[in-house]
A and B are shown apart, each in its own frame.
Chain A
């Protein structure tokens, strides 16, 4: 692989009169963990959403493997989310009606995989994230930490190239937060997935290989200090 996996340049995005991104950009190389840091309201989540193609910037480009995301159809971007990307948000991304097992199997099912195979893969990932015991429970019946680990299992079950994590430990106490981060980073390294990790906690950012700082919609890539 010659270029970066994911590259964003000159992103502008405003919600009404509020500018959220003001020329931000960043690149992501295969397999690396990048922390996106910055104060609240600085545009971190907006940047992540643009990178993942779930929000269209007003201007600027996001390319994945050399393909411009805005040029893709909804179906193609959906397929990208299903096969190449994984998502872990602060909370609420699991489908409340489905059990943990069904939630983890969901992206595979949406891709047409047979139930048995999909659930087998899901079970393996639940075990790997140490939440096999809540396989049959719905999100409302698990603890916050368990829920986030189920979400990590779901993000990784398709063996994506990029995991987008927006404050994955934001709703957890430090002990559970550490555990989720440890498991997330280990699993990502194992599957060579790159991670975009939005956080404002230095302790969480410590799991990253390098940092991008966002301030008032502008980003600064902090180069790796060897």
Chain B
């Protein structure tokens, strides 16, 4: 018998063959094989979707804020801009049928009036510019009772760059005596410098808790299906050992198999995220008044890159790690160490971390609510 050591090139080829074999085992393994792959892919996919969504929250809120600042009416007299005829403007908030909406009353002082974003002509007296959602509401039977409050001639629509969300009810209306009304200011431009919204601890906490709540069932699902699949996998790997795969090869084959599951899971995850992104504009959650533009739902690309790399790597590492405790022998699985007692402190980590997070934010919570009350947008 000859024990030839593989030369690097042959070894590389063998690695490749082993990985391909693992991939082959993951796909096209009959109905049961496809079912297993589908379970893995859905589990990983849901996880990826939740992560992508979580990384999108920050940008989404920031984009809404930015557009809010860009159309803000200055509350004090602004510096003179040569060649611009200033306008008198004041913010007005109102409700209709339990729906809050707001708008700006304006009075021009000349033809070169400044323009807020998303508006191509500021209304003269007796004219109004509406957001698409408000216009639709006024045209619908539901808007019957609202119509008398907007007798003005509609001369334009506010486009998305001037709205925080697609369902926002917003207007600019030309009124004769803004100068004398409350809260008005004379201004040469719309908008205030945008504040970078650094996500404060409380918001991060909410995002983290939300993600964990969404990921929990996913984790349970993945763990269950993995455990169910493990027995079949061990049998399969034992059959490979019998025909002469060594321990290393079996690990590589298992890695190839896990890699495919993670990869398909990534595709499913990105697909579900894209689907969610397409559905988002049709929703009108009360917490985010005016709804969400699809364009605002944009994950942080560095985190996306991280997810795209980490998920398959993690899948492979977990697959290989799970084989460390068991020796796949040609006749079946042999446990290397007797089953360790499950350590309690592991299970205590999530609740303790949760309580710590809550405690660290508790003080800010009350402070925040007080601030919210005085903050109008």
A interface residue numbers (CB < 8 A to B): 49, 54-55, 64-65, 67, 74-76, 78-84, 87, 92-98, 102, 106-107, 109-112, 138, 140, 154
Contact = CB atoms under 8 A, between A and B. Distances in A.
B329 interface: yes
Contacts, number: 84
Contact of A82 (B21, B29, B244): B244
Interface in B1-55: 1, 3, 6, 10, 13-14, 17-18, 21, 24-25, 28-30, 32-33
B246 A94 contact: no
Assign chain B's interface to a size class: 20 to 34
B247 interface: yes
Which 6 pairs from chain A and chain B are nearest by CB? A82-B244, A97-B29, A78-B246, A81-B244, A54-B330, A107-B243
A67 B1 CA distance: 9
14 contacts: A54-B330, A55-B331, A64-B1, A65-B1, A80-B244, A81-B243, A81-B244, A82-B243, A87-B243, A96-B236, A97-B28, A98-B25, A107-B243, A110-B244
Question: What is the interface of chain B mostly: helix, strand, loop, or mixed?
Answer: helix
Nearest to A141: B30
Interface of B: 1, 3, 6, 10, 13-14, 17-18, 21, 24-25, 28-30, 32-33, 236, 239-249, 329-331
A107 B241 CA distance: 10
Nearest to B36: A97
B3 A79 contact: yes
A76 B247 CA distance: 11
A155 to B, nearest CB: 9
Nearest to B245: A110
Q: Which of A75, A83, A95 has the most CB atoms of chain B within a 10 A radius of its CB?
A: A95
A93 B21 contact: no
B370 to A, nearest CB: 62
B243 A110 contact: yes
Given A107-B244, A112-B10, A81 B330 contact: yes
Contacts of A81: 242-244, 330
